[in-house]
Chain A
Amino acid sequence: AQSVTQPDIHITVSEGASLELRCNYSYGATPYLFWYVQSPGQGLQLLLKYFSGDTLVQGIKGFEAEFKRSQSSFNLRKPSVHWSDAAEYFCAVGADAGNMLTFGGGTRLMVKP
């Protein structure tokens, strides 16, 4: 069975600073990997996904993520964080059967002015 670990429950960064959110997965085959963002009181919005091909994936809102098979990781990065990026971020792995997503526990990002 697949699993996802997001080691950091909370992260605080200053506005304008760079950001990296960690994600490690466990899955027996080639994974489909996703990052979603959830703003307070809102649903989940897809930031980006890795399906195949180029291991550096560009997403919306200036985010990118890099798939590293050797490290079983799919870390999310942004070079300069904006106050509006404060939210909960979820990494997920998709399974072939039923295209079901297994989520990590989430990382709450806080942005200091």
Chain B
Amino acid sequence: DTAVSQTPKYLVTQMGNDKSIKCEQNLGHDTMYWYKQDSKKFLKIMFSYNNKELIINETVPNRFSPKSPDKAHLNLHINSLELGDSAVYFCASTQGRAGNTIYFGEGSWLTVV
């Protein structure tokens, strides 16, 4: 069973469209994240949720809106997609205490054309 699963794995869409990426974890963790990996492989946190509450919101455009319907799910909705949004988006989860292992999904490859 996949611990952190995200869908879709690949997404090609046009500029201006709205798209969502879904994430689910079956590890019973209370904290979930979205990370963005750019074309240079640099990984940066976008959001963190603990027990469905937003606790980290890095400098991310308002077009990105995370939603956590329950502890096991953290979805990412992106409005008005731009070319620069092309990246790999990783969902991750952990039991929210510093030093605990963070488990990553396999990534969602978003290409905006």
Contact = CB atoms under 8 A, between A and B. Distances in A.
Nearest to A90: B43
Interface size class of A (residues with CB under 8 A): 20 to 34
Interface stretch (A66-74, A77-85, A93-101): A93-101
Contact of B99 (A46, A99, A102, A105): A99
A88 interface: yes
A89 B77 CA distance: 29
Interface residues of B, number: 29
Name B's interface SS: strand
B66 interface: no
B100 interface: yes
23 contacts: A32-B98, A32-B99, A34-B101, A36-B104, A38-B41, A42-B107, A43-B90, A43-B105, A44-B90, A46-B103, A51-B99, A97-B56, A98-B56, A98-B96, A99-B31, A99-B94, A99-B99, A99-B100, A100-B33, A102-B45, A105-B42, A106-B41, A106-B43
Given A94-B102, A99-B102, 7 more contacts: A34-B101, A36-B104, A46-B101, A46-B103, A88-B41, A97-B56, A99-B100
Interface of A: 32, 34, 36, 38, 42-46, 49, 51-52, 88, 90, 94-103, 105-106, 108
